Amino acid sequence: MSASQRGELNLPISTQANTVHLGCQTNAWRIPRGNFQGFLAVLDRIRSYGFEGFETGFQNVEGVFAHSREAQVQIEQKGIRFFGVHIFLLQYDPKTCLAPEDLIRRVAAGAAELGAGCLILSGGATSALEHKTDALSGAAEYCLQEGLPLAYHNHPHEFHQQGAEVEWLVSGTDPKRVSFVLDVGHVHLAGGDALAFFRQHHGRITALHLRDFREEEQVPLGRGTLDLLAWKKAIEECRWTGWALVEEERPNDGRPGDTAVAPASQALRRTFRTEAPERKNR
């Protein structure tokens, strides 16, 4: 098997200065909970495909919070940037529809010590949006004390009813303290318009989660109906410099790993990578 078939690309999927950063979530691969060495091995896979950075779930790193200095060194040795730690739960605090405050505080402190670039929170659907925005603002205040930016990550429910919940969260939080990770796949499943939301709120968006679908079934990025060129155009027109991250979130906890990330990296390379101009002999 050649290096390119393994995804071991000599050149990174790099973008020029002041443009979008390209990364990958670790959730494409199955990592046993508490297996930090397995997590580090996944970082090797992500780097081998030329990605600039990664995002991971908190369960992959919480076991090393007690010896964060050593763990941080091991992560940094992988040579890719640690974009963020994501708290996603199956059940949330019934009042705030976010993770419990003690969990947010613990993960924020640990993530900061590991060198993560931000803390990402998902949440549940609620009609008591005042409680949710207040809790989100409180979490942002604590993260600020840790020197860690906070971003909120959507699921489909925030984009139901013409995006009523997500618009409430945008308008009800401080733009200097709360940003957003726009999950394009979840917006698609909700029947929303992710591109329109991005164009309107790009100043609040720190990252995109990119997924692709064909007839409502998720397929590797670049093999479905997601118009990556339209996204490139919007990103360039908005002069947006956030992160675009490959996400593989399959039903029944499917973890396609390299079989999905390899074509995704190729699709991003075709779309975003700018080759240096060829020199002509004089």
What pLDDT score was predicted for residue 216? 87
Residue % of the chain over a pLDDT of 90: 86
Q: Is residue 275 predicted with pLDDT exceeding 60?
A: no
- Give the Å distances, CA to CA, from 198 to 4, 166, 195, 221: 33, 12, 5, 19
pLDDT digits (tens, 9 = 90+) for 56-74: 999 999 999 999 999 999 9
pLDDT band at 30 (very low <50, low <70, confident <90, very high): very high
Q: What is the reported pTM? A: 0.91
Q: Is residue 261 predicted with pLDDT exceeding 90?
A: yes
Average pLDDT, rounded, for the chain: 91
Contact (Cβ atoms closer than 8 angstroms) between residue 54 and residue 46? yes
Q: For the residues 248-263, what does the mean pLDDT come to?
A: 90
Q: Is residue 240 predicted with pLDDT exceeding 60?
A: yes
What pLDDT score was predicted for residue 18? 59
> Could you give the domains of the chain?
3-272 (3.20.20.150)
What pLDDT score was predicted for residue 70? 98
What pLDDT score was predicted for residue 8? 38
Q: Is residue 282 predicted with pLDDT exceeding 60?
A: no
What pLDDT score was predicted for residue 213? 96
